A and B are shown apart, each in its own frame.
Chain A
Amino acid sequence: MLNRIELLQLIEHNARISVSELAVMLNVSEEAVAAELETCKKENVILGYNTMINWEKTEREPVTAMIEVRITPQRNQGFDKIASQFYRYQQVSSCYLMSGGFDLMLIIEDSTLREVAQFVSDKIAPLEGVISTSTHFILKKYKSNGTLFEQKQIDNREAVVL
């Protein structure tokens, strides 16, 4: 029996494992894995395959900003309408509705400081329904999506252990 959750966890961690390798790991046929992946795509369970990149190691020096937005929900539409006005911007990489002291969390990646400032003042703050914004910049990434940004643990075990 193919365990969908286990399959998804595996490819979430490493999207490049081949179908045949997945089949061996999960002890099912390749056809079953391929069919399940296809189903997951159709059901929008699998939305895409991204690569984890440490941009800081490249010549580009993009900033990541997290913008907390407090808004007034709109009649009949709740928060969804106004959220859609934010997440349609290409530079918004993530958009979440939050519990707690603010309502929407927007994450902007791959921008410069100036671009973020301009985006907030031109596009977010003036929008009707926006009560306030608070912008935070990430200074250093230690871990993201379960992956450490620093050096991997070295194997310090003995050569042979019986």
Chain B
Amino acid sequence: MDIDYQSKVSSVVNEIKPSAIRRFFDLANEMKGEVLSLSIGEPDFVTPWSIREAGIFSLEDGYTHYSPNQGYIEVRKAITEYLERRFSLKYDPKTQILVTVGGSEALDLIARALINPGDEVIILEPCFVAYRATVTLARGVPVVIETREEDEYKLKPEDLEAAITDKTKYIILGYPGNPTGATMTYDDLSKIRDVLVRHPNVFVVSDELYSELSYTGEHPASIASFPELYDRTIVVNGFSKSFAMTGWRIGYMAGPAPLLAAMNKVHQYCIMCSPSTAQFAVIEACRNGDKEVEEMRDEYNRRRRVVVQGLKDAGLSCFTPTGAFYAFPSIEKSGLSSEKFCERFLMEKKVAIVPGNAFGQCGEGHVRISYAASMENIMEAMKRLKEFMQELKDGSVQ
């Protein structure tokens, strides 16, 4: 019997296109193990032992049950203490924190709890791939602002002003950013605040998953720290990137209590609660993790410098990334498309990096290099990149 399965899938899910670079993924997967991977958007570090141990201890102690929907109160307290200590953000642990299954669930909850069909959500491309998908799935309309290399991928206030309409529900800010490594300083954000103050109906979702990984030397800035915006900003954060805890699947959001109560409705029916083991682990992360985060940040920072120098040596132009663990150089001078460039680099030099158009159309002409890899591998990959660029220039490789 022939069943047209595609017709059974909801139109909104069908609307989500398979990634433009599916073919490249398959290729990279096939070659896994024999290539240097600078293509991975998660820390190469294993979760610090004290944090892993706290999770293990909770299991030994028999904490194998559901937690309250919002997360254990001890966890929410630890998170609010952490947010206040690190980012000077004040929240009430009882009503303003929702512990989620990673930052991704938080993005999904926000979309589902806030969007009515047809509402517009402003996203800044190139960006993390879940922004667009969560909005589309919630039947919202993603409105794209293309950020540019010459602006260091910062959001320009005039671009924001132009993108806002009567239908704009919220804007997603992702700084420090994947895939660009861009950050927004306090001054940059204050210009965005000035625009948003004129549009009191527009909410802000600030994805701060990489907030600990900032190399500007400045204290990381959150847009929620502006009193004018505090009441309409939802901060999404988590432990995956800064504490190397991707597999634990735990994150959180902080924001206005009535909105979090709405999110919690969705959360309680879909997820119930985030994993208890992970919750106990993050208490330790929040309270005693600073030193290890700092060590990882310092190591990322050194790698970042090696990558930037390597790109320079290879003759590629790249704005200097100041956060996360990515560089996003332009490969336009190679004359190849992003995907072709990555495919050939993979086949000819055995190094995996990601085509920029995976993160939005305007990422074309760029590639994402993740330096969540060992220094040794990064140095070797940069050496091969230089050779590759030379060979392209010489035309010696077809």
Contacts and interface: CB of A to CB of B under 8 A. Distances in A.
Contacts of A25: 302-303, 305-306, 375
A155 B244 CA distance: 13
A162 B246 CA distance: 13
Nearest to B19: A162
A159 B46 contact: no
21 contacts: A6-B298, A10-B302, A21-B379, A24-B309, A25-B303, A25-B305, A27-B305, A155-B37, A157-B40, A158-B29, A159-B25, A159-B29, A159-B32, A160-B352, A161-B40, A161-B42, A162-B19, A162-B128, A162-B129, A162-B178, A162-B358
A27 B215 CA distance: 12
Contacts of B44: 155, 157
A162 B302 contact: no
A6 B301 CA distance: 12
Nearest to B46: A153
Given A6-B298, A21-B379, A162 B41 contact: yes
Interface in B157-193: 178-179
A24 B354 contact: no
A11 interface: no
A14 to B, nearest CB: 8
B352 A26 contact: no
The size bracket of the interface on B is 20 to 34
A48 B39 CA distance: 38
A97 B42 CA distance: 45
Nearest to B302: A25
Contacts of B298: 6
A26 B309 CA distance: 12
B28 A160 contact: yes
Interface string A51-65: 000000000000000
Contacts of B306: 21, 24-25
Interface of B: 19, 24-25, 28-29, 31-32, 37, 39-42, 44, 46, 128-129, 178-179, 298, 302-303, 305-306, 309, 352, 354, 358-359, 375, 379
A24 B312 CA distance: 12
A159 B34 CA distance: 11
Interface string A17-51: 00001001111000000000000000000000000
A24 B29 contact: no
A159 B353 CA distance: 10
Interface in A113-162: 153, 155, 157-162
A159 B379 contact: no
Contacts of A153: 46
Given A26-B302, A157-B42, A158-B29, 9 more contacts: A6-B298, A25-B375, A26-B305, A27-B305, A153-B46, A157-B37, A159-B31, A160-B24, A160-B40
Contacts of B309: 24
